[in-house]
Structures are given as structure tokens and as C-alpha cells.
Structure 1
Amino acid sequence: MLAELALGYPDRLWRAVGHPVSWIGRLIAALERGLNRGGEGRRRAAGVFALALVVGLAWGAGALVAALGWLAAVLAGSTLVAQRSLAAHVAAVADGLDAGLDAGLDAGIEAGRAAVARIVGRDVAALDQAGVARAAVESLAENFADGVVAPVFWMALLGLPGAAAYKAINTADSMIGHRTERHRAFGWAAARLDDLVNLPAARLAALLLVGAAWLVPGASPGGAWAAVRRDARGHRSPNAGWPEAAMAGALGFALAGPRRYGGVAVEDAVMGQGGRRELAPADIRRALALYRAADGLLIAGLAVAAVALW
């Protein structure tokens, strides 16, 4: 985690060889093109086979790298955690919206929409400033769970192979775990397994955000805990509601609710009932402060556990 915070993933390396997650993604895309055909039963069986193959290869690659020694494991493991890149992408949304103060509100909203489109799957064309800001904060909360806490959780539990296998599952879900005609059967296993492996991390992420609220001026740990208990289970996702509710309750926001994906309106419960929905760039930065504090708690907790085990 410290290596990823310090180094990130160099752009030059990305341009030269790509990223481990992009390698996994190319394999999934190739398997989907070759196997996703026939009736529903055949598609579902093919999806199970494809997922097992991808996860097995990721586990094997992780074990191979780990066998090279601790330094190789550190460098490879840092590519599977997204602390630095997540903060940068979310901050870019706030920066884009802030550009509206100088170039006109419409220009700022367009820049914010372009930035938030890189981190969310919903339709962004009709979002106003508050909608863009809410989307950024929701993505920050959810991706804290599945982009930071989950790979670290499985790495702590099962080593580098566990983290690599988790990233394979999570990438498969993001690519094929959709309820569309094409992917409903083929991506069924990926979606179900992703829900399962994210269960512990989503709840741990919520607890970290509640704890972080003690450290961030103006945040409410009591509000965060109350929102988690009241709202988290109402979310359409079995996992996303936990960190979103904690983030919303800590900062007095109202997140989630109705959204549009691929032109289809999706109804969802509000996380942080009674909170404020009209968010601004400054609110994105408040959410980032809470995220950084929660991430710091995770690093500190792991350090204490490592010393105790050693």
C-alpha cells in the first residue's frame, strides 16, 4: 500500500506494456467473444468455465511472482491497489467542476461530466453539477471498498495470489456481469462471485469510514454509523450500500437514489436519508479527506497486525 501511494503506476509503463488489470481484461474479452454463444444454459456454463480459467491463471501468476521474493511481491501487489489513482480520478471531477467558476458554469459541468464518465457506468450527459458531484462521491465510496479494501483484504488473507484472483473476479464482473441480453447468462457466475468476495471488504470499508469520521473536522461518526444501520441494506447492490451509506452519513449527504444506465432509469434507495443532495466541488474534496483518513486507518491497522504477527 505504501509503495502504491508513493509510486502509483507510471504512465510510461502503462503505455509500454499496459497494466495487470488490462491484461486480465483482454483475456476476458477474448473468452467472451469465443464462448458467449448458444442457448442460455450453454452460455452460463461457458461463463463459469471462462471465470474459472481467468481466476486460476491470475492465482498462478500471483504465486509465481510471490516466489521471486518479497520485493517482487511488493511491486506486483502495488499494481492491484488503487489508492492513488482513485483519489486522482475523483479530484479531477472537482477540478473540472471548479473550471466553471472561470470559464462559465456550462463549461465546468461539461468538464465534470467528462471526468466522472471515466469512473462511473451511469449516463452522465444529463447530470447537473450536483449530479456530477454525487456520482463522484458515490464512486469514491464504492471503489474504496472494491478497489482498495478488497484486494488488500484478500492479499492479507491469501497473499499475492489471493489479491490477483480477486482482481480477476472484480474485472470479470465489471466487463460481463451485466443484466443485458448478451451478458445475463454468460456473466452470471462473475456477478455472483464478485458479490460474494466483496461482502467482507464492503463492511470493513464502512467501519473504516465511520472511524475516519472521528479524524476529519466536521464529519459525524454517529451520523455515519446511523446511516449504515438504517440505509445500507436498502441499496440495490448487496455491497455498495455499506461504504456509500457510511460516506453519506458522515458528511451529511444523500447519495444513490434514482439513476440512469444505458438509457434505462434505475430506482434505488437513498443512502443518508435526510442529507443534502445538492453537492458541489467542495463536497467532493470533503469526501476525499474522509477517504484519505479511512485509507490511513487501514494502513495503520495492517501495520499493527503485521508487527503483532511477526
Structure 2
Amino acid sequence: MTSVVIALLALAIEAAVGYPDRLFRRIGHPVTWFGALIAALDKRLNLENDSFATRRAKGVAALAALAVAALVAGALIDAFAGAASYGWAILALLASSLIAQKSLSDHVAAVAEALSRSLEDARAETGKIVGRDVASLDAAGVARAAIESLAENFSDGVVAPALFLACFGLPGALLYKAVNTADSMIGHKSERHLAFGWAAARCDDLLNIVPARVTAALIAASAWTIGARTREAWATALRDAHKHASPNAGWPEAAMAGALGLSLGGPRAYRGMEVDGARLGDGRRDATPADIARAMAIFRCATAGLWLIMLASALLSVR
């Protein structure tokens, strides 16, 4: 069975059951396994007494080791599944753990629901899906953070792993997830990780070039679900995406901002440090729970669009 069919089945499985909490508590998750390996490499190799060049070289070596581990694991699982009667089902089930449609939807919906109770509850829920400081966020800031997280993680957590799975099989999807996890852990520009995390950040940028733009296109095409114009969403992405500090994250966020008529991004705090982020879109700043609901409608329609692309590709592959 082709990789694109496996990707379609994995999307369906994850949408139906997600990744069960009981399973997570018992064995963890591929992201936590990669995270443990990355943390161990960081502790052993990223030494403060080393020079900047040495720490960067060690970061390259650490990323290479992580990539090899992901590819070998994927190849071994592929070989095992290929020898099994229902290997395609095993592959689809395992691959579903690399996709996050249901968990992303559930977490963002929880922020909107918490906003109806209290700001403190909403901040707590927002803190589960963003890395920024949430203590000072007002209600509009919470709503913007949830919408930004939905747009960016739609690319990183749904579109990208699905595309890598469809194009390169389980080894490719595992490689993507490993690099993306490394970027989130060590790819930032802190004093400790500026050199050591350089390779992870650059490799993640490279792997997300296509998925980020595909995600923006899916969001723009789905803008009609809230009565917005696809042209406005895409025009905002073309105009503002480059303003984002990331060469990729700005694409889905700017498209969502244009679709909703909002201005996303802007100043935010990380570990007590203020970061003057660029603003994406020229609409309202006063985002509301209703805007989160509209963003969720776009997300659902865009996800359906991804499914249709996979279905069409699967039908062509089995002809």
C-alpha cells in the first residue's frame, strides 16, 4: 500500500481517537522519546566552556545523530510491517501518533471555553499550547495567542507530518518530527542554545518551507467558511509573512489574520523578556472567543481540504 494511502488512514485514525491519555501515561509519545534523546545530547555535548564554533559543530553532530535514529527507527518499523499480513494497518496506526488534528482542536477549543468562565482559567489553558508568558495577557491577548497557535501548529502538527508521511513514508515523517522537536527545544536564540541549536533551527526552517505555504493556501481557500474572502487571506500572507521572525510561521498566521480581519502577532514575553514581534494583518486587535470559533471553522475546512488532497493522491496512486 502506498505511503499516501497510509497518510490518509493515519489522518482518519488520529481524527477519530487522537492519542489516548492512557497510552501517553503508560509509554509516552514519539515527541517525548525524541525529547529525551535531545535533552541527553544537549546535556552531554553542549558544554559552556567550549567555543562558539565547537558548540555549533556539536549541535550539527547531535542533529545528525537524531536524524539517523529517526530514519533507522522508521526503516525498521517499515521492514517489520512489510512482513506482517496487515502491515499497512500497523503503519497507519503508528503514523497517526505523529499527527495532531484532534489534540490541536481540543486544546484551542478549551481556551475558548475557559474564556467563558474566567480570564485566569483561559490563561492556564493558553499556557498549555504556547511558549510565551501568559500571566499578563488580557482576554484579547489570550484569544490572539490561541488563534496564532492554531494557525502555526496546523502547519507543524498536521500538514507537515502528513505531507512528509505521504511523500517519504514513516521514516520521513519521523525525521520531520525529530527535527521539529529539536527546534522547539534547542532552536531558540538563548545564550545556551544560540550555537548548539543552530543546526536544528536551520534544518527545521528548510523542512517547513513547503508545508507552511501549503497551510497558508489551505487557510486562505477555507476563508469562505466564515464569510471572508480568500483573496484577503492570501494577500495578507504574501504581504506580511516575511515580517515574522520565522521564515515559515508567518505564512499560516498571516493568512489566518487576513481571513479573520485581525492583527495578530506583536509584542510578547518569553521567560520575563519582552520580544517585539511583528504584527501580521491590519485588522482588529480585540480578538474574542467568537474569533476563536471562526478560526476553528477555518481549521476544520482546511483540514478537510488536506484530506481531499490526500484522497485524490491516493486514488491516483492505486490506479
Q: TM-score, normalised by structure 1?
A: 0.95
Which residue number corresponds to residue 96 of structure 1?
114
Q: 1:109 aligns with which of 112, 119, 122?
A: 119
Pairing of 1:53-72 with structure 2 (within 5 A): 53-67=65-79, 68=81, 69-72=87-90
Q: Given that residues 65 and 76 in structure 1 are in contact (C-alpha distance below 8 angstroms), is that contact kept between their aligned partners in structure 2? A: no
**1:41-92: CA deviation from partner (whole Å, max 9, x where unpaired):** 2211111111111111111111222221211110111000000000111111
Match of 2:257 among 233, 242, 248: 248
Unaligned runs of 5+ in 2: 1-10, 82-86
Aligned-partner residue type, residue 299 of structure 1: W
- Count, aligned residues: 300
Give the conservation status (yes or no) of the 8 Å contact 2:114–2:121: yes
User: Do structure 1's residue 231 and structure 2's residue 240 form an aligned pair?
Assistant: yes
The residue matched to 1:14 in structure 2 has which SS?
helix
Please report how far the alpha carbon of residue 217 of structure 1 lies from its aligned counterpart in structure 2 after TM superposition: 3.3
- Asked whether the 8 Å contact 2:144–2:264 carries over to 1, the reply is yes
Query: What is aligned with 2:152?
Result: 142
Residue 279 in 1 paired to residue 297 in 2? no
Residue 4 (structure 2) aligns with: none
Contact 2:226 2:294 in 1 (8 A): no
Is 1:289 the counterpart of 2:297 in the alignment?
yes
**1:222 Cα shift?**
2.0
**Alpha-carbon shift at residue 263 of structure 1 (Å):** 1.8
Which residue type is aligned with residue 99 of structure 2?
V
The structure 1 residue matched to 2:162, chosen from 139, 152, 174, is 152
SS at match of 1:260: strand
Distance (Å, rounded) in 1 between the aligned partners of 2:20 and 2:295? 26
Structure 1 residue runs without a partner (length 5+): 100-107
Map 1:1-310 → 2, pairs under 5 A: 1-37=11-47, 38-67=50-79, 68=81, 69-99=87-117, 108-214=118-224, 216-273=225-282, 275-310=283-318
Coordinate RMSD, CA, aligned: 1.0
Q: Partners in 1 of 2:120 and 2:161 — Cα distance?
A: 33
TM-score relative to the length of structure 2? 0.92
Quote the Cα distance in structure 1 between the aligned partners of 2:122 and 2:102.
19
- Aligned partners of 1:253 and 1:218: how far apart in 2? 14
Distance 1:114 1:220 in 2: 33
The CA deviation string for residues 107-161 of structure 1, in whole angstroms up to 9 with x for no partner, is x111111111111111111000000100000000000011111111111111110
